[in-house]
Chains A and B, each alone.
Chain A
Amino acid sequence: MSKKGYQSQKKASSFVVNFVLIVICVIWTVPTLGVLITSFRQSEDIFRSGWWTVFPHKEDVQTGEITLDSTVDVNGPITIDGVTATFEEWRQGITLSDGRTIQWYGNKRTRKLTVTEKEWVGFSTNLTLKNYIDVIGGKTITFKDGAGNTITRQGNNLGDAFLNSLAVSIPGTVIPILMAAFAAFGFSWLNFPGRNILFTVIVALLVVPLQSALVPILQDFVKMGLNGTFLGIWLAHTGFGLPLATYLLFNYISSLSRELLEAAYIDGASNFTVFTKMILPLSVPALASFAIFQFLWLWNDYLVALIFLGEKNRVVTFALASLVGEKGQDWHLMTAGAFVSMILPLLVFLLLQRYFVRGLMAGSIKG
């Protein structure tokens, strides 16, 4: 095939390619979009209609009412606007040829029928921030259900959970990175007995499932009074995150220029100075990509928080999961809660995607 032929083939396929990609992207976006829109709708609207009704669409709108006079026999066939049908059929509703739908309202004695027509409805939904205020606060809240009844609930205090998540994630990211950086430096530049075997063990630990370690650690924590404390969960996340962190940073630090470090040693710098003044600044890209990786992992973690923190210091994933468990039908709270839990990782992710991808590439050895 000539070059020209290939290019025309490429152009012809470009429409198909973009079409397929757009379909995929729509499928990928719609679930989140639905939750985002729902989180801003009023509770009674959420229970009554789907979130897509905020967009202009055709909807049944009541346009009139018919009251039969007392001479009409409701037990026999009834004729309205030229259509004859039994009560049961009217009860189900009949769509006339002009597009109007006529439906009997209530039982036979009402003698009332409603007329509805399909009409265009625009962006008429009232949007509100109340769901967010309710779910972030910890006080008692009230809202209306689909039938307009007022319901009272205890708030979920996602604001506190958000702060707890910060208190877990920030030190839980810094501690293992600092430890791993020191260790990676030790493994790549210092000599000590047992170096080889220790690093081999670290590589073996890379994919060990957390489940095979959780229960013994919990036993230790209960004995030491660390269960439910921030210190406990920092230590746990440090232990679990260290193999990957050490492995990644080792790969990076061991590839740094040997001459540069040797020059520093000749100038009389101690190991500690070399580490803090040279290794750390030079490793910033590697540190940053692992930091983002670890931060997202901690923020989004549910299992470790469930076991080591639980109710005592509820993090956002825990709070959101219990919201789903306790109030599985309160979509106005769940959707707003989901966004409260997602906002920070999404921001970090979108702003620092480049670093994250780099960490992902290096870390794809782990599960």
Chain B
Amino acid sequence: MLNSQNTEEKVNGVLRWIKTIPGRIISSIVILAVTFLILQQGYLFLSRGQAHKLVQILVAIIWGVGGIAMLFWVTNWVAEQLPKKWTRRLQPFIFVGPAILMMGWFLAIPVVRTFVASFRSAYGTSWVGLQNYVYAFTDARMLETFRNNLLWLVFGTSFSVGFGLLIAVLADRSRWEVIYKSIVFTPMAISFVGAGVIWKFIYTYKGEGIGIHEIGLLNAIVTALGGTPQPWLSLAPWNNFFLIVIMVWLQTGYCMVIISSAIKGVPTELLEAARIDGATEVEAFFKITIPYIQGTLITVITTVVIFSLKTFDVVRVMTGGNNGTNVIANEFYLQSFTYSNAGRAAAIAVILLLAVTPIIVNNLRQFNKGRKGF
């Protein structure tokens, strides 16, 4: 009894001391130091990498997740020890600051640095003016990537959105809508690398000869129909389309889900009225449904267009950009890491950025229009 009273007094004493000014300063420093030490020790443990793999992974996860929570808690605690006026001024930046710093470090500033680098030489040692851009817009390799990206953009987008629309409309009329939609949607969970393996297996080619059975589905079908098997992925320029099929396979589900929910928003009275007035299903679709979901269609198309411009993984894994299948993002990768030409790589990156600029401008305009109480 006496003992616990004693501890209580001691605790109260400590709490009172913390509230004094020197107490606040010293405890803040101690807490910051302890936080730093914990994070540093975790980092050192991970970079030594001697423990069992499973232990390392567990520590990494706890350290990463716990570390970020601790940082927020500690910086906020320290800020709250300051005089009220300062706390109020500083606290918003403790909340917003980390996100702003990260976006600055990883997006805003690098974009500017890339822009500057695009006017410099291969190793960034001297200014070369527009030379990298001249290369980007005249070199045969680059022109090939532009052509291919255009194919991706036009065919990838139109087939993804087209199939998405078709499936959304048809499934809307079927009793088994949920099943159909799940099947088409599921590839969205698969990585482009995984999808690459799946489709590479479809296109695989064993060569010709007696006793050879094609194990790739496409060649087996072609052989069964009396044709000769083909090395599909080396057949320029058609191989581009075999790659685009993969994107369509992955992206249609996305288009379908978004479009489908828009279609469900079309008022049934409107459609009924059109039918009573004698419109056929096709007419009702084009005259009512399409105009009604126009906004959604534009959003979906924009998203898929951006996707097709940045396409990389599929090409990298399937062909490495060989046999006339190179795309902008892969050329960027090659220039950066294989040919070590930082200047050209930067110019290519800037071109990609310019390609999406209209979308950025549009986003900003929409945002400015939409905010009122901001």
Q: How far is the CA of A14 from the CA of B189 in the complex (A)?
A: 30
Interchain CB contact under 8 A, A170 and B80: no
Give B174 Cβ to nearest chain A Cβ, in Å: 6
Contacts A179-B68, A345-B190 given: A239-B202 contact, CB under 8 Å? no
Mark B86-120 against chain A: 1 for CB-CB distance below 8 A, else 0. 00010111111011101101111111011101000
Among A29-37, A66-74, A123-131, the one that faces the other chain is A29-37
Q: How far is the CA of A303 from the CA of B113 in the complex (A)?
A: 20
Write the chain B residue with the least CB distance to A25. B183
Q: How far is the CA of A181 from the CA of B188 in the complex (A)?
A: 26
Taking the complex as formed, is A151 at the interface, i.e. its CB lies under 8 A from any CB of chain B? no
Interchain CB contact under 8 A, A331 and B201: yes
Pick from A13, A272, A296, A361: contact of B258, CB below 8 A.
A361
Give A177 Cβ to nearest chain B Cβ, in Å: 9
Contacts A212-B110, A242-B99 given: A17-B174 contact, CB under 8 Å? yes
Q: How far is the CA of A202 from the CA of B167 in the complex (A)?
A: 35
Write the chain B residue with the least CB distance to A47. B215
How many interface contacts (CB-CB < 8 Å) are there between A and B? 348
Taking the complex as formed, is A80 at the interface, i.e. its CB lies under 8 A from any CB of chain B? no
Mark B167-188 against chain A: 1 for CB-CB distance below 8 A, else 0. 1001101101001101111111
Give A22 Cβ to nearest chain B Cβ, in Å: 8
Return chain A residues, CB-CB under 8 Å to B276.
Answer: 1, 3
**Interface size of A in residues (CB-CB distance below 8 Å):** 122
Pick from B258, B306, B348: contact of A367, CB below 8 A.
B306
Among A81-89, A260-268, A283-291, A336-344, the one that faces the other chain is A336-344
Return chain A residues, CB-CB under 8 Å to B94.
Answer: 182
Q: How far is the CA of A146 from the CA of B255 in the complex (A)?
A: 42
Give A62 Cβ to nearest chain B Cβ, in Å: 13
Mark B24-47 against chain A: 1 for CB-CB distance below 8 A, else 0. 000000000000000000010011
Contacts A47-B215, A300-B190, A346-B190 given: A209-B374 contact, CB under 8 Å? no
Q: How far is the CA of A272 from the CA of B75 in the complex (A)?
A: 11
Pick from B60, B76, B185, B313: contact of A302, CB below 8 A.
B313
Q: How far is the CA of A78 from the CA of B342 in the complex (A)?
A: 72
Taking the complex as formed, is B286 at the interface, i.e. its CB lies under 8 A from any CB of chain A? no
Taking the complex as formed, is B57 at the interface, i.e. its CB lies under 8 A from any CB of chain A? yes
Give A189 Cβ to nearest chain B Cβ, in Å: 9
Return chain A residues, CB-CB under 8 Å to B105.
Answer: 217, 220, 235, 239
Known: A353-B182, A367-B306. 19 other contacts (CB 8 A): A1-B278, A24-B167, A25-B184, A35-B198, A50-B214, A51-B215, A163-B53, A175-B68, A179-B99, A191-B92, A207-B356, A209-B349, A213-B110, A231-B64, A235-B105, A302-B317, A317-B191, A320-B191, A349-B189
Closest 9 CB pairs of A and B: A239-B106, A171-B64, A367-B306, A300-B191, A186-B95, A349-B189, A183-B99, A213-B110, A192-B92
**A residues with CB within 8 A of B:** 1, 3, 6, 9-10, 13-14, 17-18, 20-21, 24-25, 28-32, 34-35, 38, 46-52, 160, 163-164, 166-167, 170-172, 174-176, 178-180, 182-183, 185-187, 190-192, 196, 198-217, 220, 229-231, 234-236, 238-240, 242-243, 246, 270-272, 275, 296, 299-303, 307, 316-317, 320-321, 324-325, 328, 331, 334-335, 337-338, 341-342, 345-346, 348-350, 353, 357, 360-361, 364-367
